[in-house]
Amino acid sequence: MRSCWLRAPRRVWAGGRRPRGSLTPPSSPVPAAAAPRPRRARKRRHRRGAPASPAAMSGLGAAAGPAWQRDSGGLSLLAEEPHGAAPVDFLQELPSCQSARRRRGGTQECRPALLGTAGSRGDAARAETGELADRPAREHPKSMAEKRRIRDSQQADTEHLTRWKKWRRTSSKSLKKALTEVKGLSSYLVLWRHDIHSIEGKFGTGIQSYFSFLRFLVLLNFIIFILMFSFVTLPTIISKYGIFNSTIAYISPKNIDDTCTIYKPSGNKGLIYFYTYLKDLLSGTGFLEVTSLFYGYYSIDAVWISIMRYNLPLAYLLATFAYLTLSSLWIIKRSVEGFKQNLVHDADPFQSYCNKVFAGWDFCITDPNAARLKHRSLQYELQDIGNVNSQVNLLVQYLPSMVITLANFIGPLIFAFLIRFEDYTPAFEIKLTLLRCVFVRLANIGVLLFSLWSQIAGCGSDKCKPCGYNYKLYPCWESDVGQEMYKLMIFDFIVILAVALFADFPRKLLVTHCSWKLVQWFGHKEFEISDNVLEIIYGQTICWIGTFFSPLLPAIATIKYFIIFYVKKIVLIHTRKPAARPIRASSSNFFFLVVLLIGLLLAFIPLGFSIARIPSSKACGPFRNFNTSWEVIPDTILQFPTGLQQILFGIASEAFAVPFFVILCIMMFYVIALARAHKRVVEQLREQLVLESRDKMFLIRKIAEAQRYP
């Protein structure tokens, strides 16, 4: 019965010309010669005559049919049914088969349809006849010769139309062609397209996802840099050099103790030793401190470009919010793309067996060695499936690991050691290791920032009474925080380079040329995706936190990731062998983005705290005249016209917020209820399908029997 889905269309084509506008009788003899797919004809002749799909017969009396037996997993036909020809003919006369044939383009009613609707060829279009004309020839799963025929028939169709419709159709077709051309050209502009493709071919899509992730971060940092540069740095530079007739307005701070405004950065003090120069370069002090790299440079209150007044403090704050929002939106969008639907079915798409089997093989692999490794990894994965029932274990697995993570901030090495004793599935292992290491690394930054702030705002013995912060140690505390972030970033970069140069290459040389047992046991280093991903997420979190205090930091991050891409690629190609453990591209993509999002959310905390709570430094920076950096916004709002002010205050008040929140909750409950209802409907439909198929086979058997014994 099932065979009719595919076989019937072949029958129609076998004649070489598709009859239009009529349904071919299902049992017409098939001319075997001149068939575009003769092997189908052969197949039909050799057909064993058994209905290819046995149904659940046990409930309907197994004795009736020949040797329908229940296997361990399902039903199968043990012996060929000798009179199979009759049921099969019936099967092909079934209305569902006819509609499948129509769906596959076996027949066609002459209905002119707009080609423009080809983009929305959903199932609705399928159900209609004349669907053939709706889809461009490219989207039909047929061979080239048949596609040409389809295109000719579509052309013939158009001759019936009026001139207007003809013009519309041709213009939409040419527009679509133009769009595909543009898309094709723009794919050439994608950064590192060839490199990533070759990595994909040699090492599979799992490792390739790491490099695409890196590319995404390079682009993100570049965009953030452009944002900050054009709104903050550029106006400052324009005004400082007096281009475009611009002037700077310095507003002297009122009500502020003079001691708070003393700030003497060391700056360019003439001749300096090379050692000092290097030290300054690495730690952001000295000559770097007074450049536009750090917050202290932007001690401007307003910029007048010709007659326009450009409010720099407001721009600074808004640019910060903009890049945070942009980052979060972009990451969320990317993660949603990689994780479609599956709200209706409970099964975890990444653990699904079908996903592993049908999409298990990377067709991009070109290297035989990689292929062998892939085979082996697939073998391990599929063997493991039998042993672990992951769904049940999931909750139990999560509980102890959460406790461990919270209570146990020991380093990644110990985690890796522990994981060998925890018998989790390989995919889960990777995720767990990654999560644990994420917590450790981000806690690292957290502790650093916390200690910084306790020093800045730590007013032990009246140290910060006049200004609100520790002005003696940190007259320009934002620059200092910026310097810390800058240092972290530079050292992170140096460490990555050093590990690549001094640990990986020597290790490879040692292992290949030295045959001591100990060295061989050490072995080649595998490309540990989790470690590498963590490194770059750590670096990105630093960049997000640091950009507020050091607007040019994203540029440094862009260059850093750019160089890291090539370094990692060279290391990968020359020293490491592909990981024996399989990594699924889609689930790893999603997971990287989730961890990145965690980093971003954690970056909100210190930024929010410093913008809203800690008083801004009075000696430097664009927020000298405000209590805290956040105050720029209420200040600006107060300058708006009264009507607008009232609207904004209204939005921020409780009278608006509470009903808004209630409405959001209602909408959420509605959507959840809708999803549940859909789920129920889907379950019912599935049950109905099973019953229908049983009914069908039962009836067909009855008919066959009736025919046999009239």
Partner 1 sequence: AYKRFSELLPKEERENAYSARVPKSQILTLPELRANPFQHRICHVFSTSETGDDSMSFEDFLDMLSVFSDSATSDIKSHYAFRIFDFDNDGILDRKDLEHLVNCLTGQGEESQLSGAEMEQLIQNILEESDIDKDGTINLSEFQHVVSRSPDFASSFKIVL
Within positions 568 to 587, which residues make up the interface with partner 1, using CB under 8 A? Answer: 584-587
363 binds partner 1 (CB under 8 A): yes
Compare residues 136 and 621 and give the one whose CB is closer to partner 1: 136
310: nearest Cα among 637, 636, 616, 634: 636
User: Do the beta carbons of residue 378 and residue 583 sit within 8 Å?
Assistant: no
Residues 381-440 binding partner 1 (CB under 8 A) are 382-383, 385-386
Of the candidate residues 359, 570, 605, 677, the single one contacting partner 1 (CB under 8 A): 359
Of the candidate residues 277, 646, 692, 703, the single one contacting partner 1 (CB under 8 A): 692
56 binds partner 1 (CB under 8 A): yes
Compare residues 71 and 159 and give the one whose CB is closer to partner 1: 71
Handedness of CA 31, 37, 43, 49 (dihedral sign): negative
Residues 202-241 binding partner 1 (CB under 8 A) are 205
Residues 481-520 binding partner 1 (CB under 8 A) are none
Report the distance separating Cα 464 and Cα 481, nearest Å. 18
Helix axes 85-93, 654-708, angle to 10 degrees: 140
Q: Are strands 308-310 and 302-305 parallel, antiparallel or unpaired?
A: antiparallel
**Smallest distance, partner 1 to C-beta of residue 626, A:** 48
Q: What angle do CA 537, 542, 544 make, to 5 degrees?
A: 95
Of the candidate residues 117, 172, 276, 352, the single one contacting partner 1 (CB under 8 A): 352
State the number of binding residues for partner 1 (CB under 8 A).
Answer: 83
Report the distance separating Cα 660 and Cα 662, nearest Å. 5
Compare residues 32 and 563 and give the one whose CB is closer to partner 1: 32
Of the candidate residues 39, 163, 269, 513, the single one contacting partner 1 (CB under 8 A): 39
> In Å, how far are 340, 360, 428, 661 from 348, measured between CA atoms?
12, 16, 13, 31
**Smallest distance, partner 1 to C-beta of residue 652, A:** 41
**Smallest distance, partner 1 to C-beta of residue 82, A:** 18
Q: Applying CB under 8 A, which part among 80-88, 369-377, 531-539, 625-633 lies near partner 1?
A: 369-377
366 binds partner 1 (CB under 8 A): yes
Q: Which residues pair with residue 248 across a beta bridge?
A: 303
Compare residues 353 and 649 and give the one whose CB is closer to partner 1: 353
Q: Applying CB under 8 A, which part among 18-26, 37-45, 400-408, 637-645 lies near partner 1?
A: 37-45
Residue matched to tokens 């028939």? 153
Phi/psi region, residue 342 (left: phi>0; alpha: psi -120 to 50; beta: rest), is: left
340 binds partner 1 (CB under 8 A): yes
628 binds partner 1 (CB under 8 A): no
370 binds partner 1 (CB under 8 A): yes
Compare residues 103 and 487 and give the one whose CB is closer to partner 1: 103
Q: Applying CB under 8 A, which part among 238-246, 327-335, 375-383, 438-446 lies near partner 1?
A: 375-383
Report the distance separating Cα 228 and Cα 548, nearest Å. 9
Of the candidate residues 16, 21, 38, 267, the single one contacting partner 1 (CB under 8 A): 38
DSSP 422: S
Residues 580-619 binding partner 1 (CB under 8 A) are 584-587
642 binds partner 1 (CB under 8 A): no
Side-chain-facing half-sphere of 240: CA atoms under 13 Å = 14
**Smallest distance, partner 1 to C-beta of residue 311, A:** 46
Report the distance separating Cα 403 and Cα 414, nearest Å. 16
Question: First-to-last CA distance in the chain?
Answer: 23
Compare residues 423 and 692 and give the one whose CB is closer to partner 1: 692
Compare residues 336 and 651 and give the one whose CB is closer to partner 1: 336
Compare residues 152 and 257 and give the one whose CB is closer to partner 1: 152
693 binds partner 1 (CB under 8 A): yes
Of the candidate residues 192, 229, 263, 339, the single one contacting partner 1 (CB under 8 A): 339
Compare residues 6 and 662 and give the one whose CB is closer to partner 1: 6
49 binds partner 1 (CB under 8 A): no
**Smallest distance, partner 1 to C-beta of residue 11, A:** 12
Q: Which two tokens stand for residue 374?
A: 């892939």
58 binds partner 1 (CB under 8 A): no
Residues 87-146 binding partner 1 (CB under 8 A) are 138-141, 143-145
156-184 b/e (C-beta count within 10 Å ≥ 16 → b): ebeeeeeeeeeeebeebbeeeeeeeeeee
Q: Is 502 exposed, middle or buried (0-12, 13-18, 19+ CB in 10 A)?
A: exposed
CA 240 to chain CA mean position, Å: 42
Count the Cβ atoms, other than its own, within 10 Å of residue 548: 27
130-152 b/e (C-beta count within 10 Å ≥ 16 → b): ebbbbbbbeeeebeeebbebbee
Compare residues 321 and 361 and give the one whose CB is closer to partner 1: 361
Q: Is 306 helix (H, G, I), strand (E, B) or coil?
A: coil
Of the candidate residues 301, 362, 484, 504, the single one contacting partner 1 (CB under 8 A): 362
Residues 445-464 binding partner 1 (CB under 8 A) are none
Q: Tell me phi and psi for residue 526, to 5 degrees.
A: -85, 155
User: Do the beta carbons of residue 209 and residue 200 sit within 8 Å?
Assistant: no
Q: Which helix (H) or strand (E) holds 68?
A: strand 68-70
Residues 136-175, mask of contacts with partner 1 (x by CB under 8 A): --xxxx-xxx------------------------------
Of the candidate residues 20, 309, 372, 680, the single one contacting partner 1 (CB under 8 A): 372
Q: Applying CB under 8 A, which part among 69-77, 460-468, 472-480, 556-564 lies near partner 1?
A: 69-77
Q: Is 683 helix (H, G, I), strand (E, B) or coil?
A: helix
- Longest Cα–Cα distance of the chain, Å, equals 114
79 binds partner 1 (CB under 8 A): no
Q: Applying CB under 8 A, which part among 244-252, 265-273, 353-361, 525-533 lies near partner 1?
A: 353-361
